[in-house]
């Protein structure tokens, strides 16, 4: 692969990553805004099926409320995860890996936005959760994180290459 072809493909993957992340984060934030507007004051909405209903919960912790006393630490970990995902997205040559990484970024960033937007101190804001599963309450960003995790496991199980770049393309020298 020539250097120009590699750069063109990289720009395409970056565009897909950014576009998917923008749409996904916007959807997450809109659903959270709707939940805040419609589910305040203890309002709960029952739904048929596996989703028990809609119920507003502000979660200062991580999954299942774990670490609720260390919200700022969770926020810093989420920030580090977002940065790492961006680095990985720039290194992959696979579009399917780009999509999985974009979903993971969207989930982590969506919940990080809550921790910043609703903070009264240093990164101590709570995540807006509203999808009541009976055993936990989550949000759209959590769905993205779960989907990304499943996709990554499938990609690894199916041995889908993360990067197909040869050492010739990567370093400008002959492959060993």
Please write the tens of the pLDDT for every residue from 8-23: 888 999 999 999 999 9
Catalytic residue among 28, 114, 129, 132: 129
129 is known as an active-site residue: yes
Q: CA-to-CA distance for 48 and 132, rounded, in angstroms?
A: 12
Instruction: Decide if pLDDT at 48 tops 90.
Output: no
Q: Average pLDDT in the 74-91 region?
A: 94
Contact status, residue 141 vs residue 111, Cβ threshold 8 Å: yes
142 is known as an active-site residue: yes
pLDDT of 122: 81
Q: For the CA atoms of the chain, what is the radius of gyration?
A: 19
Short-list 134, 80, 153, 78, CA closest to 108: 78
Are β-strands 127-132 and 53-59 bridged in parallel, bridged antiparallel, or unpaired? Answer: antiparallel
Instruction: Decide if pLDDT at 66 tops 70.
Output: no
**What pTM did the predictor assign?**
0.85
Q: CA-to-CA distance for 144 and 56, rounded, in angstroms?
A: 19
Burial class (CB in 10 A: 0-12, 13-18, 19+), 111: buried
Q: What is the pLDDT confidence band of residue 64, given thresholds at 50, 70 and 90? A: low
Catalytic residue among 28, 114, 132, 142: 142
């Amino acid at each position: 692969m020539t250097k120009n072809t590699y750069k063109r493909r990289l720009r395409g993957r970056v565009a897909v990553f950014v576009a998917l992340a923008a749409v996904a984060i916007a959807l997450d934030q809109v659903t959270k805004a709707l939940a805040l507007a419609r589910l305040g004051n203890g309002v709960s909405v029952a739904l048929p099926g596996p989703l028990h209903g809609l119920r507003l919960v502000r979660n200062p912790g991580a999954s299942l409320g774990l670490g609720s006393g260390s919200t700022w630490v969770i926020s810093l970990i989420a920030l580090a995860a977002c940065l790492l995902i961006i680095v990985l997205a720039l290194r992959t040559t696979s579009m399917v890996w780009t999509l999985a990484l974009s979903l993971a970024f969207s989930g982590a960033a969506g919940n990080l936005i809550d921790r910043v937007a609703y903070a009264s101190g240093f990164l101590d804001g709570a995540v807006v959760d509203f999808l009541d599963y009976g055993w936990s309450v989550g949000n759209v960003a959590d769905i993205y994180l779960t989907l990304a995790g499943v996709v990554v496991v499938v990609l690894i199980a199916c041995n889908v290459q993360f990067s197909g770049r040869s050492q010739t393309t990567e370093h400008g020298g002959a492959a060993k």
